[in-house]
Structure 1
Amino acid sequence: MRLILMRHAKSDWSLDQEDHERPLNPRGKASAHILGEWLRAESYLPDEVLCSTSERTRETLALLQLTAPVRFERDLYLGSPEVLLDVLRGATGRVVLMLGHNPGIAALAARLTDIRPSHVRFRDYPTGATLIVDFDTADWADLLPGTGHARDFVIPRELMSV
């Protein structure tokens, strides 16, 4: 099983909107687009997407241009790592993209991996940060913390500089 754990792209703080309704800013839109290109180039394509209901996660997802079925989950909006893990345990795909927010996404990434990526930005998990992690399990319901093998970790800024 494979998990693609992604934090939403950079949002726009210039508008006077509630947090849940904040859209992406221009850099966030470019980041989401390039993350989608990277996922396709590396063949990291999900067959199921679990996405927060916030505007910025929905917009990030749309710009990734993926074809997998999507389940929008309100619990992924600012959810704790325990809540995120509970939602993930209900997944049915073999390759699942979970798209959410910090601090939950960063904490979940750290809890799931047996050895954390050595990337300097893994700890703070900036906007658009994406972890690819593999698990030796046949069912998400059986997923245990500390059993994931980090395969890749990227941030949009690195992709944009190539």
Structure 2
Amino acid sequence: MKTLILVRHGKSSWNYDVGDRQRPLKTRGLNDTRLVARYFLRYQEMPDKIFSSPAKRAHETCKIFLKTSEKSENKVTIIDDLYDFNGRSVIGFIKNLDDDIDSVMIFGHNHAFTSISNIFGDRFIDNLPTSGLVKINFDINNWKSLEKGKTELIIVPKELR
């Protein structure tokens, strides 16, 4: 059994003269991510491995989950291929994970995460909103054989406010 948890970065700010990778979270993004992290961690544990896009907004979102779970920031691995908006690189990354890893959490971007949730999950998502989380379980032993799984959980911050 393998478990994939996708977390879309929180709402980011366009109020800074920085490149796309450097855009920080805005206050709403910080607050929504805290809500989702608290809700998730009330019922679930952080997975074996945690990966993040190098984009500041994704990494900041990841750090909120780590702080909420009282895990060290050195538990996250930054992966350039996760700075992906169509999902091909993320899917390639997932399919090449070490099979010793049973559960993984990835912090990244849309449209990639909505697309991946719909390709591999069994519940349709029109749009995974910022700070949204999807957990999908797979009845497989190795990541290379990734196929349709069962969507166990979808958390949308708007439903928690």
**Under a length normalisation based on structure 2, what TM-score does the superposition of the two structures give?**
0.88
Partner in structure 2 of residue 151 of structure 1: 152
Give the distance between the partners of 1:51 and 1:140, measured in 2 at CA.
18
Indicate the SS of the match to 1:2: strand
Indicate the SS of the match to 1:116: coil
Partner in structure 1 of residue 134 of structure 2: 131
Partner in structure 2 of residue 106 of structure 1: 114
Partner in structure 2 of residue 70 of structure 1: 76
Give the distance between the partners of 1:83 and 1:58, measured in 2 at CA.
18
Q: Post-superposition shift, 1:34?
A: 1.7
Aligned residue among 107, 116, 123 for 1:116 = 123
Amino acid at match of 1:107: S
Indicate the SS of the match to 2:50: strand
Partner in structure 2 of residue 5 of structure 1: 6
| Identity fraction in percent | 26
Output one character per residue of 1:140-162: Cα deviation in whole Å (capped at 9) or x when no partner. 12212xx1101111111212x2x
Q: Post-superposition shift, 1:91?
A: 2.4
Q: Post-superposition shift, 1:80?
A: 2.7
Output one character per residue of 1:80-122: Cα deviation in whole Å (capped at 9) or x when no partner. 3221111112224211111111111111111112x214xxxx2
Partner in structure 2 of residue 36 of structure 1: 37
Unaligned runs of 5+ in 1: none
Give the distance between the partners of 1:150 and 1:137, measured in 2 at CA.
14
Q: Post-superposition shift, 1:79?
A: 4.2
Partner in structure 1 of residue 90 of structure 2: 84
Alpha-carbon RMSD: 1.6
Q: 1:98 to 1:104 in 2, by over 3 A?
A: same
Amino acid at match of 1:116: R
Indicate the SS of the match to 1:141: helix
Output one character per residue of 1:31-74: Cα deviation in whole Å (capped at 9) or x when no partner. 12122212211114211012100000110011112437322111
Partner in structure 2 of residue 141 of structure 1: 144
Unaligned runs of 5+ in 2: none
Give the distance between the partners of 1:53 and 1:38, measured in 2 at CA.
25
